[in-house]
Amino acid sequence: MNYVLGFDGGGTKTECALMDAAGTIVARSFSGPSNPSRVGVEAATREILKAAEICLAEAGIALNSVVALGAGLAGTGKPEMKEGMKASLTGVFPGVELNLFTDLEMALAAAGDGPVIVLVAGTGSAAIARDARGEIWRTGGYGPLHSDDGSAYDIGSRAVSKAMKEKEQRGTDSALGKRILKRLAFASWAELNERANLQPDSVFPRVFPVVAAAADEGDVEAREILVHAANALSSLVSAVAQHAGYGREEILIAKTGGTLGRSAFFDTQLDAGLSRALPHARIGGLRMSLAEAAARAAKK
């Protein structure tokens, strides 16, 4: 039997879905980050292969039974990066037909046909809209230096900055600051700052779960940060909605990303912000995972 692998690769994790010839997902697995713009082509390829090996082992399938591969990868918007990833994957998946997409392309595919706005809220952030004619508008998704407002990276960065300023001004750590240092196992802000300067992706996204948990427990600082993030994400949706000409229509806003479902407070704030931006919109999720969408795209 011929099988197809689908991948959803981002700045924090990689999901793999194994699909059989009938279009049924027979196994799923996860590994580390595979956004090549953040971790490099070699590291991204390694995590994709790792996820594939776990998935195939779970299903008891040999790699030579895989005939096609679809991968929706964040950080592959530039042609040179996409080609670099394709060449690298060719080396570890010989003889397999490769289909590479951006994560936003797969987000639209996972949302189904027709007009839709997809909000991606993970390690990075972006919004993309498709109208009834199939025209597409997007904003965000260009990395932490130029975008990613409201993302896990952005939330973590703001939380660390706020906590460090609190320590400087008052001489003691805030409750949120103490939680961050303890959870990330840093002895001091100097140690955390040194690591963040060298490897920001290994620090800031990991702060998000700390902020999320603190907000649900009523921490005022954490809640302020998440309210700001929810408003920033809502602004991304509002921007693409204006370009697509959406206003009073009952358009679907499909949410996806690793920051969702981690904090009841954040989820509530985000939905409220989206409702303010587009009062007539329906707010929901994708019809399938991005990994499954990638597998189906490759199967076609």
pLDDT in tens, 98-112: 999 998 899 999 999
| Per-residue confidence (pLDDT) for residue 143, from 0 to 100 | 80
- The pLDDT-based confidence of 300 (bands split at 50, 70, 90) is confident
- Is residue 102 within 8 Å of 73, Cβ to Cβ? yes
In the predicted structure, residue 19 carries a pLDDT above the cut 70:
yes
CB atoms within 10 A of CB 6: 31
Average pLDDT across the chain, whole number: 94
Q: What is the pLDDT of residues 55-94, one digit of tens each?
A: 999 999 999 999 999 999 999 988 999 999 999 999 999 9
In the predicted structure, residue 297 carries a pLDDT above the cut 70:
yes
- The pLDDT-based confidence of 224 (bands split at 50, 70, 90) is very high
| Per-residue confidence (pLDDT) for residue 213, from 0 to 100 | 98
| Per-residue confidence (pLDDT) for residue 246, from 0 to 100 | 80
Over residues 40-55, the mean pLDDT reads 97
For 188, the token pair is: 């001091």
| Per-residue confidence (pLDDT) for residue 80, from 0 to 100 | 94
For 187, the token pair is: 């002895």
Residue 254 to residue 217: CA distance in whole angstroms: 27
CB atoms within 10 A of CB 97: 12
Task: Please give the model's pTM, rounded to 2 decimal places.
Answer: 0.89
Measured at the CA of 255, the angle between CA 159 and CA 160, to 5 degrees, comes to 5
Residue 110 to residue 288: CA distance in whole angstroms: 5
Q: What is the pLDDT of residues 4-14, one digit of tens each?
A: 999 999 988 99
Residue 103 to residue 284: CA distance in whole angstroms: 18
Fold of 3-108+289-299: Nucleotidyltransferase; domain 5 (3.30.420)
Q: What is the pLDDT of residues 117-150, one digit of tens each?
A: 999 999 999 999 998 888 999 998 888 877 899 9
Over residues 179-200, the mean pLDDT reads 96
- Bridge partners (DSSP) of residue 120 are 126, 256
| 29 Rama class: left (phi>0) / alpha (psi -120 to 50) / beta | beta
Q: Are strands 3-9 and 14-19 parallel, antiparallel or unpaired?
A: antiparallel
CB atoms within 10 A of CB 248: 9
Over residues 25-30, the mean pLDDT reads 97
In the predicted structure, residue 248 carries a pLDDT above the cut 70:
no
Over residues 167-196, the mean pLDDT reads 96
| Per-residue confidence (pLDDT) for residue 36, from 0 to 100 | 95
Q: What is the DSSP string of 238-291?
A: HHHHHHHT-SSS--EEEEESTTTTS-HHHHHHHHHHHHHHSTT-EEEE-SS-HH
